[in-house]
Amino acid sequence: MKIAFSVVLIVFTLNMHVVKSRFHSSNGVCGRQQYDPRIRSCCGGVVTSKGSCCGTRSYDYRFRSCCRGVITSKGSCCGTRSYNYRFRSCCGGMITSKGSCCGTRSYDYRFRSCCGGMITSKGSCCGTRSYDYRFRSCCKGKITSKGSCCGTRSYDYRYRSCCGGKITSKGSCCGTRSYDYRLRSCCGVVITSKGSCCGTSSYDYRFRSCCNGKITSKGSCCGTRSYDYRFGSCCGGMITSKGSCCGTISYDNRFRSCCRGKITSKGSCFSQFVAYDPLSRGKVI
């Protein structure tokens, strides 16, 4: 009898050790608490009933939803609320009737348009308004009569021109004005007689020259003046007699030399103002 009792006691002790070891092996830590994850959940450091977490609370995902930390009825989330997406829409965090979104409101895109956050009649958008592009135009946010845009106004490009944002008579543009390029010229933003441009003026290049923005007699340019290169020279911006240049002065290089900007007697330069004959090695004064 004692032996049988001892055997039962040993078996009971072993079973208790097995149960305790199993309990300890399945324990988890939630914050500072221990819990059994098989039957409880840990949500945000708080032990809750078994389920999915929504903040510090648990819920059954089969029948409920979690929308930004708030437990709601089952559905899609719109902010902290839920809705049935088959029959409703979520527009800008607001639950609305089923449709396309325009800001926080919904609309039927088949019959309406959304222009700049405003629901309008069906059409193309021009700012916050709609229009029929077949009969009207939108010019910089303004609805106008049908045509090409010139600033906020429309015009018929077949008969008019748009120059610098202004509607003008038909022609080429010169600033904010139009002209006939066959008969006139545009120099800078000035309409002039037909010709080549020299600054804001025109001239006939066959008989005149343009030297640094100034119209002169026909010739080569020397600064703002013209000259005949066959009979004169341009030395440092100065018109001189025909010859080689030495600074702003011309000279005949057959008989004279230019030494550091100074004209001297013929020879190679030896010092700053002195010429010499390399053959005789003698100085020539």
Q: Is residue 215 part of a domain?
A: no
The reply to whether 120 falls in a domain is: yes
In the prediction, which pLDDT does 267 show?
78
Predicted local distance difference test score (pLDDT) of residue 2: 43
**187 is a domain residue:** no
**What pLDDT does residue 150 have?**
98
What domain range is 114 assigned to?
A: 108-155
What pLDDT is attached to residue 27? 79
Which pLDDT score, from 0 to 100, does residue 87 have?
97
Q: Roughly how many angstroms between the first and final C-alpha of the chain, as a whole number?
A: 153
| 72 is a domain residue | no
Is 122 among the domain residues?
Answer: yes
DSSP run (H or E) holding 126: strand 124-126
Residue 134 lies in a domain: yes
In a domain, 69, yes or no: no
Kindly give the parts of the chain with pLDDT less than 50: 1-25, 272-278, 280-285
Paired residues of 236 in beta bridges: none
pLDDT at 128: 97
Return the pLDDT at 248.
94
The count of domains in the chain is: 1
Token pair belonging to 126:
């021009």
Residue 66 belongs to a domain: no
pLDDT value at position 269? 75
Number of helices and strands in the chain (H, E): 1, 43
Q: Encode 213-273 in three state secondary structure.
A: CEEEECCEEECCEEECCCCEEEECCEEEECCEEECCEEECCCCEEEECCEEEECCEECCCC
pLDDT at residue 144 in the model: 98
